[in-house]
């Protein structure tokens, strides 16, 4: 089966074929760095990180670019409020953004170009657009002339005339048409500015993405992604100016992710209901957040709430307990397993591995179908169930377990790991139980477990249960397993 991708431009799924065989260029719109990142900012990066992982798994060499908008009205206003410079604010907030990405295991971004470092490219592009009649300077500004672009509106499937009807576009006597948008804004006193043939100023919002994406990925590249709310005007304008400039197709596949919802409204700075990533991560492990974002298909809105996060946290427990189980069987951590990337069928002997192989196939089919991570996550749960069942049936934790059974079990776990890596999940121990590494706590726990064991041996269950009950009150759960008693927080 081949990878199929939904394209906003055509409104349908089509088989994915890159411009250049074996390579993929992917550009995703990043944040305007004027405030700390909220969770909504993480949706795109996490999803496209998974997209890159999967494309890489399929053998493509992927270049993943996320831009940083480091000059803009909001930055100027915010910097003034804080009594700092735009540059300093941008640097600080970019660091925050990068830190959030790192914690959510978004590891695939190759380049993060800054708008302010590409003024030259933008000027060159504007010059070209003015020369070919698609843009015009006006009173120190430069505008894109929408009326000169025959297929303007094709991304959003809108007729420009209809849009203008009830539109509340910025009125300016410098524009020829109300729908025209600024490529360059003439400097006002006190604002950061750069020299240009049209006088000092700064770039408009859309031009940076055209200039930078084409610089790093070429005039025609494969995937352009971003939030659904960026479709218009940002992406429509980006597309219009780029294709007017090069006379070539800009991005071949436009992918738009659904927005995060708080209750029944989207989460956004403009709505004022944002949840800071840094704050959130104080309460929930990053993997819980990543898992939540990948549990839904990327084009659907994602329900966000504290209850939901708590539920995800609970549902993740099954995986984490299984990893502990694996460690009991093999003595090594699940996280150290090397799971090679294998194309095609995995050779399988025996019903168990055939079953796991079948699930692996289903997982891959989900990903092939427009990166259906939600379906893929479901398959992961099914694998977990099969793995546990096999472990129960064959008693792989017992010393008497057959080496053959243990080997099959281990191979099954490797396949599970191979799949989970594609989603960027379970890469590191997520619940290194608080205090679990602490020698003193470990020693004290062993003491209590030993005392309880003695009480139980003497059939003093009342005392044994009291020890367990009081530990439960402290948030410690005991598990009596064949090989002895374990505990976790």
d(CA 268, CA 290): 19
Q: Is 163 in the site for RNA (CB under 7 A)?
A: yes
Residues in region 74-113 near RNA by CB under 7 A: 74
- Of the pair 13, 340, the CB lying nearest RNA is at 13
Please choose, out of 183-191, 368-376, 424-432, 433-441, the segment that lies near RNA by the rule CB under 7 A. Answer: 368-376
Binding track, positions 61-80, relative to RNA; x by CB under 7 A = --------x--x-x------
- Of the pair 19, 401, the CB lying nearest RNA is at 401
Please choose, out of 117-125, 143-151, 155-163, 276-284, the segment that lies near RNA by the rule CB under 7 A. Answer: 155-163
Q: Is 176 in the site for RNA (CB under 7 A)?
A: no
Residues in region 465-484 near RNA by CB under 7 A: 465, 468, 477-481
Q: Which of 370, 12, 303 is nearest to 157 (CA)?
A: 12
Please choose, out of 166-174, 332-340, 396-404, 413-421, the segment that lies near RNA by the rule CB under 7 A. Answer: 166-174
Binding track, positions 208-227, relative to RNA; x by CB under 7 A = ------------------xx
**Closest approach of Cβ 97 to RNA, in Å?**
9
**Closest approach of Cβ 247 to RNA, in Å?**
26
Residues in region 229-268 near RNA by CB under 7 A: 229-234, 257, 259-261, 264-268
Query: Which of residues 1, 77, 167, 341 is near RNA by CB under 7 A?
Result: 167
How many residues belong to the site for RNA (CB under 7 A)?
90
Binding track, positions 300-319, relative to RNA; x by CB under 7 A = xxxx---xx--x--xx-xx-
Residues in region 113-142 near RNA by CB under 7 A: none
Query: Which of residues 20, 77, 157, 407 is near RNA by CB under 7 A?
Result: 157
- Of the pair 177, 427, the CB lying nearest RNA is at 177
Q: Is 228 in the site for RNA (CB under 7 A)?
A: yes
Residues in region 429-458 near RNA by CB under 7 A: 456
Residues in region 380-409 near RNA by CB under 7 A: 381-382, 384-385, 388-389, 391-392
Tell how strand 484-488 and strand 477-481 pair up.
antiparallel
**Closest approach of Cβ 127 to RNA, in Å?**
23
- Of the pair 221, 322, the CB lying nearest RNA is at 322
Query: Which of residues 25, 31, 201, 424 is near RNA by CB under 7 A?
Result: 31
d(CA 14, CA 253): 9
Residues in region 272-301 near RNA by CB under 7 A: 295-297, 300-301
């Amino acid at each position: 089966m081949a990878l199929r991708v939904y394209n906003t431009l055509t409104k349908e799924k089509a088989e994915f074929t890159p411009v250049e065989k074996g390579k993929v260029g992917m550009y995703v719109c990043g944040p305007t760095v004027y405030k700390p990142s909220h969770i909504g900012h993480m949706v795109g990066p996490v999803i496209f990180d998974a997209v890159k992982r999967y494309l890489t798994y399929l053998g493509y060499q992927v270049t993943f670019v996320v831009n940083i908008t480091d000059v803009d009205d909001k930055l100027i206003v915010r910097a003034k409020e804080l009594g700092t410079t735009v540059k300093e604010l941008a640097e600080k907030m970019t660091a925050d953004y990068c830190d959030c990405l790192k914690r959510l295991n978004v590891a695939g971004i190759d380049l993060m170009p800054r708008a302010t470092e590409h003024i030259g490219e933008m000027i060159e592009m504007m010059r070209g657009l003015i020369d070919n009649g698609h843009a015009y300077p006006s009173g120190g500004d430069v505008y894109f002339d929408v009326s000169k672009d025959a297929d303007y509106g094709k991304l959003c499937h809108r007729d420009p005339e209809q849009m203008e009807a009830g539109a509340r576009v910025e009125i300016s006597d410098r524009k020829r048409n109300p729908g025209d948008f600024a490529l360059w804004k003439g400097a006002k006193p006190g604002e950061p500015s750069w020299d240009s043939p049209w006088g000092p100023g700064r770039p408009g919002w859309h031009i940076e993405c055209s200039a930078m994406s084409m610089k790093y990925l070429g005039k025609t590249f494969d995937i352009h992604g971003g939030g659904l709310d960026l479709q218009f005007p940002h992406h429509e304008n980006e597309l219009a100016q780029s294709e007017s400039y090069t006379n070539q197709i800009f991005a071949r596949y436009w992918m738009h992710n659904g927005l995060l919802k708080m209750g029944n409204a989207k989460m956004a700075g403009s709505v004022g209901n944002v949840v800071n990533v840094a704050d959130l991560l104080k309460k929930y492990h990053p993997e819980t957040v990543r898992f939540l974002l990948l549990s839904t298909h990327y084009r659907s809105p994602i329900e966000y709430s504290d209850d939901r996060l708590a539920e995800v946290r609970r549902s993740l427990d099954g995986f984490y307990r299984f990893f502990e189980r694996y460690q009991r069987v093999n003595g090594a951590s699940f996280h150290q397993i090397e799971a090679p990337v294998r194309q095609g069928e995995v050779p399988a002997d025996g019903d168990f591995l055939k079953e796991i192989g079948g699930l692996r196939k289903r997982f891959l089919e989900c990903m092939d179908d427009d990166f259906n991570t939600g379906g893929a996550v479901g398959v992961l749960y099914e694998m977990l169930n099969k793995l546990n069942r096999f472990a129960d049936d064959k008693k792989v934790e017992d010393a008497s377990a057959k080496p053959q059974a243990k080997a099959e079990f281990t191979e099954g776990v490797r396949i599970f790991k191979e799949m989970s890596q594609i989603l960027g999940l379970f890469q590191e121990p997520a619940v290194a139980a608080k205090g679990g590494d602490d020698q003193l706590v470990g020693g004290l726990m062993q003491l209590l477990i030993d005392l309880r064991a003695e009480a139980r041996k003497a059939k003093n269950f009342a005392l044994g249960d009291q020890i367990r009950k009081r530990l439960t009150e402290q948030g410690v759960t005991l598990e009596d397993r064949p090989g002895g008693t374990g505990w976790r927080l």
